[in-house]
Chains A and B, each alone.
Chain A
Amino acid sequence: ILNVEQSPQSLHVQEGDSTNFTCSFPSSNFYALHWYRWETAKSPEALFVMTLNGDEKKKGRISATLNTKEGYSYLYIKGSQPEDSATYLCASNSGYALNFGKGTSLLVTP
């Protein structure tokens, strides 16, 4: 099973700040890299699925980049809002299912 690491473990920012998180994964046998947003008491929701080296995806104020050769992905949030508070999960395909990192817990305060 692939080992997916995320940092930081938690992050506390003020409303309006921009922030970013890191996901690292083994670059061998890479298939796809996923990002999920997980709010408390809800289920994880897919943000991005990325497959190509150099890929960059954007959804509103959230964007992600992918480097498959060195095995890392960044998630960026521009102008954080309180509603962005959630745990952000990164996952890499292990061959038969996604292997998740432990997530970065983001708290945005007004």
Chain B
Amino acid sequence: DTAVSQTPKYLVTQMGNDKSIKCEQNLGHDTMYWYKQDSKKFLKIMFSYNNKELIINETVPNRFSPKSPDKAHLNLHINSLELGDSAVYFCASSQQGVGGYTFGSGTRLTVV
């Protein structure tokens, strides 16, 4: 029944590794997003994607890349992980131009 699901919920990994976080939504929404929650609990947009367009926040390092196999999925790949990448990452979806966002439960990434 989960509307937006993220896996894994927790991820602990070493510096330099490459990892992925998966996100799936079953709401039929046409747009999906990745947000990063910083240490002060501030949500910052990383990517916005619908079946037509990927928009990247220019402040996001190119080690981060979204991959969307279909409109129900938007996975986040991170290469060469750094200590500063440790954060909670939230996936969200919406129907463009209509209504609020539905968020996943978040993935807490810890880089050691």
Which residues of A are at the interface with B, using a C-beta cutoff of 8 A? 1, 34, 36, 42-49, 87, 89, 94, 96-100, 102-103
Which residues of B are at the interface with A, using a C-beta cutoff of 8 A? 33, 35, 40-45, 48, 55, 57, 90, 99-106
In the complex the two chains form, is B48's CB within 8 Å of A96's CB? yes
Bound CA span A47–B40, Å: 22
In the complex the two chains form, is A46's CB within 8 Å of B55's CB? no
Give the residue name and chain of the A residue nearest to B58 (CB).
Answer: A1
In the complex the two chains form, is B101's CB within 8 Å of A94's CB? no
Of A46, A47, A87, chain B has the most CB atoms within 10 Å of the CB of A46
8 CB contacts below 8 A, A to B, read A1-B57, A43-B104, A43-B106, A46-B99, A46-B101, A94-B45, A97-B48, A100-B35
Give the residue name and chain of the B residue nearest to A99 (CB).
Answer: B45
Bound CA span A1–B35, Å: 14
> What A residues does B40 contact at CB under 8 A?
102
In the complex the two chains form, is A43's CB within 8 Å of B55's CB? no
Partner among A96, A98, A103 whose Cβ is within 8 Å of the Cβ of B101: A98
In the complex the two chains form, is B42's CB within 8 Å of A97's CB? no
Bound CA span A96–B40, Å: 24
Give the residue name and chain of the A residue nearest to B6 (CB).
Answer: A43
